[in-house]
Structure 1
Amino acid sequence: MSSFAQIPQITLSNKLFKPEKENMESTKSHQNVVVMRHGDRADNFEPMWVSSAARPWDPHLVNDGLIRAFSAGRKLRTQLGFPIHRVFVSPFLRCIQTASEVVYALCAVDEDPNAMSSKDVISIDASRVKVSVEYGLCEMMNRHAIKLDIAPKDGDFGFNIAEAEALLPAETVDKSVKRVYEEMPQWEETVSDTRSRYERIIKALADKYPSENLLLVSHGEAVGVAVSAFMKEDVSVTEVMYCAYTKLRRPILFENGSFTAGEFEILSSPAPSGVSYIPTTSTDK
């Protein structure tokens, strides 16, 4: 199930690098960034949940969503062709739970092919991945994504970062990280502002950790932006499935203690997983 926001369509290796040496002071490499949507959210499967929920704007994952997220993490581990070093996640509960399952799959010590979720993981190597909560990856903060009748009347969504971090695998949380966005975006941000925010946060986090491969666990609109903003052709994203993701890569030149980054491009093999899009014609613009 997709539940991609009903708004105007967007037009738009874990090898900690084996760099190619150009001389004694400069090296070339590539950075990879994966942008993923959360798993199956409860309010789309349990209609009565909203009426009794203390935080109806912040649904948890249903069990199938936990299973899907763990499976996505296993897929990343076995099929990406590069390791994930660092994970950033939206503060919304469905994203925190998705990131937790993915990290368990990425860090499991003894991989059990029959494991369905983190409950089946006996132990993890927490040194493999570090995780941080990032406000800039949060849901689109307007009525297109969060219905007015369930949004908090005072605009305070009440996120507690310490409580969110406690839901992530022990010892993977990097509390030393300074967030790019130190607070939530303002309620009723425009669709255009949201899309600009997602593009900015992808670039900002990549620039902050240029020698690491990143996984950003966010919302459907963020995955849509990752496709439409960085694809060479003009496209409109039409659907983003649960736990869908796209992979971005850019060249990095490290020289004399600084770096220069090239433009991101979408890795085309395989194509973005769980994301549907169509070419944009001149009449669509």
Structure 2
Amino acid sequence: MHIDGTVPRELNGVYLRNTENPLFESIGRYHPFDGDGMVHMMSFCDGEVEYRNRFVQTDGLRAEIDAGAALWAGLAEPPSRSLRDGKCARGRMKDSSSTDIVVHAGVALSSFYQCGDLYRLDPRTLADLGKESWGGKFPTAGVSAHTKVDERTGELLFFNYQTTAPYLHYGVVSSQCELVHYVPIELPGARLPHDMAFTPNYSVLNDCPLFWDADLIERGIYATRYHRDMPMRIGIIPRYGASGDIRWFECRPTFVLHWI
């Protein structure tokens, strides 16, 4: 790698970035979110820099490589156009694991923009380490796009969502990769939360007024609507709180894509 100037020898570590990179031509219209997950890595050590990238070896990518073509419809097409059953809250979609990547317990975890599996990679070599299982307790509903790692405790915080009641779950994974807390969170209906936040003692969840039309979902149509007259709700729950411990605070209608 060509470098202009000098990389400080004190700068040591790894920078990881997850992106979408489609391997096959899409079924119908292409949406940027449809691309297969590709993790990019830059390693800094003693003034030297190394770069590499790897496709995330998802079940969907492996199946399409075997077939030699795309098998799942993307975000801009109805799920019924997929040639195989899929995953995620929308159903019949490929879990491309192309949205985020965090490091927990020394392993990089890539995630999907809806709810899916977490794929494990070596953070320095990007070697495929399979799917995360949390000792056989990984939720069947998957994990949403953005998990949070508390560097102070080593815990990983997450949520997932579904199109059926209670619509949301919240969980905590220990620094030893054990699922130690997992509770249902009642919502008025199916929602599309994307991110969460946390403090040393609490986790922050959200109920945004942008979600799928419930009547259309019953017909297999996933059309998103922003409800301008519906307040935004922010939920605060103790890190190890029960379902009934969450407190909701209303504010003006808005949508939170990412917490800072």
TM-score in terms of structure 1 length:
0.24
Structure 1 or 2: more helix by fraction: 1
Q: Which has the higher contact order (CA 8 A, sep 6+)?
A: 1
